[in-house]
Amino acid sequence: MMKSDVTIMDFTGIYEKERFYRGVHVHWIDCRDIQGTNCYCDEEGEQALRRKIAPYSAEAIHFIDSGNYHYMTKLWTEKLREPFVLAVADHHPDMQPPLFQELLSCGCWVNGVLDGNPYVQKVVLLGADKELVAAVPEPYRSRMVAYDESQIAEGDRWESCFPKDLPVYLSIDKDILSPSQVHTNWQQGTLTFSQLQNVILELFHRCRVLGADICGECADALFHAADDKVILQDDSVNGRLLHILMALGKAGKA
C-alpha cells in the first residue's frame, strides 16, 4: 500500500516558488545538475537519475516537475517488484513512436514501460485525447485500455477494467485539466479538478495503489514575473492533490 512519504524531484526550480509541501516532511532530490534530461533523457542522464532515486521507495507520492520529465514514471516503476497495472491520467497517451530509439523521452516513455518492465500487466489511459489515442502504434494496443476525456467527464464505468487482484501505480499529468483549472507547458485537456479527483477516489476505492506521481508544472512561468498568478494556481492544485493522496494513503493503512 502506498506510503504517505513525499518525494520532490527538482529539475527546473519551480518548486522553490511554491508552498504546497510546507509543513510536510519531504525528500528533496535536486536534479538540476544532471545534463541531458529535458524532454529527452540520454543514457548518462538516465543512470544519474537512477542513482538519485535509489534510496527512495516507489511506493510513495512523487512530484516530478513539468511534463518534460514525465519519463520519470518509467524509472520509478522499475523499482516495483510485483505485477501491477499502470494507470496514466494524462491528456497525452505518451505512446508516440520514438524519434530517437536510444533516448528515453516524455512522449514515448509508456512504450518503454511496456517493452522493458516485466511486472507491468497493462496500461490504462484515463482522460487522454481521443485522436491521440487513435495514433498509438498497433503493437501496444493489446496491452492498453483507454478511456478518453469525454468518457471520463460523462462518468463511464472505467473502473471495471482494473482487476481487483492487481495493484496499481498512478501517474498524473496535470495537462489533463482545463487551462481554467491550471496552466501547464503542454496542450491541455478539458477536465475539471473535481472530475480528476473523482478518478483518484474511485481508483483508490477499487484498487490497492502502490504509488503515485504528479507532473505538469508550468516551469516556463519562472521566467515571467507577470505569471505569479499561474504559479499560485499551480501551487494550489498541487496542494489539493497532495492532501487527497496523503489522506487516501493513510486510510489504506488503517
Burial call 138-164: b when 16+ CB within 10 Å, e when fewer:
eeeeeebebbbbeebeeeeebeeebee
Round the CA-based radius of gyration of the chain to a whole number and report it.
17
CA distance 42 to 44: 6
Q: In this structure, are residues 53 and 37 in contact, taking their beta carbons and an 8 Å threshold? A: no
Alpha-carbon gap, residue 168 to 132, rounded angstroms: 23
Q: Residue 121 is which amino acid?
A: Q
- The three three-digit cell numbers of residue 238, written as one number: 498541487
Give the whole-angstrom CA distance, residue 125 versus residue 135.
13
Segments of the chain scoring below 50 in pLDDT = 254
Name the DSSP class of 177.
B
pTM as predicted: 0.95
What pLDDT, on a 0 to 100 scale, did the predictor assign at position 3? 77
State the Cα angle at 108 between 104 and 114, rounded to 5°: 95
Please name the residue that has the C-alpha cell 529539475.
Answer: 11
- What is the rounded CA–CA span in Å between residue 144 and residue 123? 5
> Angle 216-178-59 (CA atoms, 0-180°, nearest 5)?
40
The whole-number pLDDT of residue 254 equals 43
Give me the pLDDT at residue 1, please: 66
pLDDT of residue 61: 98
pLDDT tens per residue, range 31-58: 999 999 999 999 999 999 999 999 999 9
